[in-house]
Amino acid sequence: MPVAYPAYRVAAAHAAPVFLDLEKTVAKTQSLIDEAARHGAQLIAFPETYIPAFPVWSALAAPIHNHGWFRRLAANAMRCPGPELDRIAATARRAGVFVSLGFNEGTEQSVGCLWNANVLIGDDGAVLNHHRKLVPTFWEKLTWANGDGAGLRVNETRLGRIGVLICGENTNPLARFALMAEGEQVHVSTYPPVWPTRDPRGGGNYDLAAAIRIRAGAHSFEAKVFTIVVSGFMDAAMRDELGAIAPDAARILADTPRGVSMVIGPTGEPVSASKSDDEGLLYADIDTADAVEPKQFHDVVGSYNRFDVFGLTVNRTRLRPARFVADEPTPPPAEDDVGGLSEPGR
């Protein structure tokens, strides 16, 4: 049977959440899925921890001042599985689109443990993959626990083989190679709206948009894939609330480089416009057949590698706090057992 190379429209939701409001952000997510479907998109990707917010406050004030922010985030975190995710999945099924969704994940085991998570939802509403960011970056460690390799995988769909990495994971060559080795064709990379590392007055602040372009171009070129880059957007409500954290917070947010959303082709060049300073859905039409010719030149998971020299092992165990073994009834003793021991020779 000939290999199929799907061609279709994708959407990147360069959007702001309803800041720290789980229910309203879920409703906005559903609305954006419907909007993307009306415009012909078959896959829509949402930013890093879109639901209910990215914890920028950790960059703006010392940890001793941020307990209230963390409580609000934990109270509005989403669970997988959970009722809010079920509603989003039902919308994906009704609209007939695939959804890549970033969210803060809570757990029934702990009221204070959160993960930076992403799910890929199929057009039938099924959760195809559930990934937790392997390592939170810099001040993100104040919010999220380490993830694991359970979601480090590519999913085969009617749109091709889709993989997802979260923000700084796109700088991890082994994480990226793990997805390449599963035949990834379409890659989703998610980012926050801003990522302050210094007071802009002193210079040297991290240029998020530049870092995104380098990462996305490198992965698309090396893997010969389409990369859907989707960054968050900081709207006025989010900016005003965060700007009140500290005397310099509003100025720092105003002068910090923004994230950018775009779609990159398998040559490493953009195949769409970009979005940074305005909110909305960004669309691009992609054709996975465009990756075939570049694979002839350099296929790092095929003819352009030496697997007798290099090797990679990926542990996909889902980490859990404990393993509980169910109590089993003790079998009754045999008729000839006395004190648990049988008579010799019987």
DSSP annotation string for 141-180? GGT-----GGG---EEETTEEEEEEEGGGGG-HHHHHHHH
Q: What pLDDT score does 334 carry? A: 57
Q: What digits encode the pLDDT tens for the residues 70-87? A: 999 999 999 999 999 999
Phi, psi of 277 (to 5 degrees): -100, 0
Distance from C-alpha of 113 to C-alpha of 119, rounded to nearest angstrom: 18
What percent of the chain has pLDDT above 70? 95
Catalytic residues: 48, 133, 167
pLDDT at 326 over 90: no
Whether pLDDT at 345 is above 50: no
Q: Summarize the confidence of residues 287-311 as an average pLDDT.
A: 95
- Which is more confidently placed, 327 or 319? 319
Q: Is residue 333 part of a domain?
A: no
Q: What is the pLDDT of residue 167?
A: 98
How does DSSP classify residue 226? E
In which domain, by residue range, is 226 found? 7-297
CA gap 178, 148 in Å, rounded: 13
The secondary structure of 244-293 as a DSSP string is TSSTTHHHHHHHSPBP-BEEE-TTSSB-S--BSSS-EEEEEEEEGGGGHH
Domain count, the chain: 1
Indicate the helix (H) or strand (E) that contains 35: helix 22-38
Q: What CATH number should be reported for the domain holding residue 212? A: 3.60.110.10
327 domain residue, yes or no: no
Give the mean model confidence (pLDDT) for residues 258-268.
Answer: 97
Burial annotation 167-190 (CB, 10 A radius, 16+ → b, else e): bbbbeeeebbbbbbbbebbbbbbb
315 in any annotated domain: no
Phi, then psi, of 224 in degrees rounded to 5: 60, 55
Confidence of residue 208 (pLDDT cuts 50, 70, 90): very high
Q: How confident is the model at residue 333 (pLDDT cuts 50, 70, 90)?
A: low
Give the chain's radius of gyration (CA, Å): 23
For the four alpha carbons of 52, 54, 57 and 63, in that order, the dihedral sign comes to positive
Is residue 137, in this structure, part of any structural domain at all?
Answer: yes
Tens-place pLDDT, residues 88-118: 999 999 999 999 999 999 999 999 999 999 9
Length of the chain: 346
* Domain assignment present for 50: yes
- On whether residue 169 sits in a domain, the answer given is yes
Q: Is residue 138 part of a domain?
A: yes
Residue 279 lies in a domain: yes
